[in-house]
């Protein structure tokens, strides 16, 4: 797995905001589904989609999500057509699992390598020097990703120095990152070994920067 899926699990998700000075911020979340709703004239002329697999036409299913805070009275309403509802777990999303401390770094889990039964552990981790409730781009200093080695053995690759790029126009979700340095063709046999490499590279880069600053001052 590349770092992209892990980045998409943690970045560009925005929390709902409460009203100013909300005394007891807590969201009450409900959903409402209307099946076979007829499109009103104000929504445009009668039409249908030429794709037989698409249900986009004059009658459609609509879902609405209401996110409400009784304390400040703020309500967020979300609605859409041709919805898909999926109940899953943090094992599948990656986000929501607690980070683990390895080699002085905080490792934030991404989704499994494959969305299949039997793949229940993170397929990638985002590395941070500090622990955060929600990762931001500035928190991320490296990544660790799962791969397959000889005879299908699990191996790990790593990288440091992210350069974040936005998604291509028209594509949803988070973009991607290029990395200043990767661990190379020789993979690691464990997450711990990969994390130690990331930590060592970060320390070496910090020491080099410190030496360069000292030289300029001298």
Q: Are 74 and 22 in contact (CB under 8 A)?
A: yes
Q: What is the pLDDT of residues 173-213, one digit of tens each?
A: 567 899 999 998 889 999 999 999 999 999 999 998 876 66
Structure tokens at 73: 């009275």
pLDDT surpasses 60 at 151: yes
Predicted confidence at residue 44, as pLDDT, reads 58
Kindly indicate the confidence band of residue 54, based on its pLDDT and cuts at 50, 70 and 90: low
Q: What is the pLDDT of residues 11-38, one digit of tens each?
A: 989 999 999 999 999 999 999 988 766 6
116: exposed, middle or buried (Cβ count in 10 Å: 0-12, 13-18, 19+): exposed
Predicted confidence at residue 106, as pLDDT, reads 98
- The domains of the chain are located at 3-13+89-217, 28-81
| Residue bearing tokens 């500035």 | 138
At 171, which helix (H) or strand (E)? Answer: none
What is the distance between the alpha carbons of residues 90 and 122, in angstroms, rounded to a whole number?
10
pTM value surpassing 0.75: yes
Q: Are 123 and 107 in contact (CB under 8 A)?
A: no
Decide which of 53 and 27 is more confident.
Answer: 27
Angle CA(164)–CA(165)–CA(169) in degrees, nearest 5? Answer: 155
Decide which of 47 and 162 is more confident.
Answer: 162
For the chain, give me the number of helices (H) and strands (E)? 3, 9
Which are the contacts of 112, defined by CB distance < 8 A and separation ≥ 6?
A: 91, 92, 94, 119, 120, 121, 122, 123
Structure tokens at 41: 């004239």
Provide mean pLDDT across the span 53-61: 65
Structure tokens at 79: 């609605």
Predicted confidence at residue 150, as pLDDT, reads 86
Q: Are 3 and 124 in contact (CB under 8 A)?
A: yes
């Amino acid at each position: 797995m590349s770092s992209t899926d892990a980045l998409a699990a943690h970045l560009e998700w925005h929390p709902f905001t409460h009203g100013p000075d909300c005394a007891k911020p807590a969201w009450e979340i409900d959903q409402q589904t209307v099946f076979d709703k007829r499109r009103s004239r104000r929504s445009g002329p009668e039409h249908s989609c030429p794709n037989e697999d698409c249900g986009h036409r004059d009658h459609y299913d609509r879902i609405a999500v209401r996110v409400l805070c009784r304390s400040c009275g703020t309500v967020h309403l979300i609605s859409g057509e041709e919805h898909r509802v999926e109940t899953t777990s943090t094992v599948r999303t990656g986000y929501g699992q607690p980070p683990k401390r390895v080699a002085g770094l905080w490792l934030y889990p991404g989704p499994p390598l494959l969305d299949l039964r039997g793949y229940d552990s993170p397929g990638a981790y985002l590395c941070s020097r500090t622990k955060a409730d929600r990762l931001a781009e500035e928190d991320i200093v490296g990544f660790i990703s799962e791969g397959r080695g000889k005879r299908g053995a699990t191996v790990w690759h790593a990288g440091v120095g992210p350069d974040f790029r936005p998604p291509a126009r028209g594509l949803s979700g988070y973009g991607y990152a290029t990395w200043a340095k990767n661990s190379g063709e020789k993979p690691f046999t464990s997450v711990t070994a990969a994390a130690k490499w990331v930590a060592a590279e970060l320390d070496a880069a910090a020491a080099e920067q410190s030496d360069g600053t000292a030289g300029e001052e001298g």
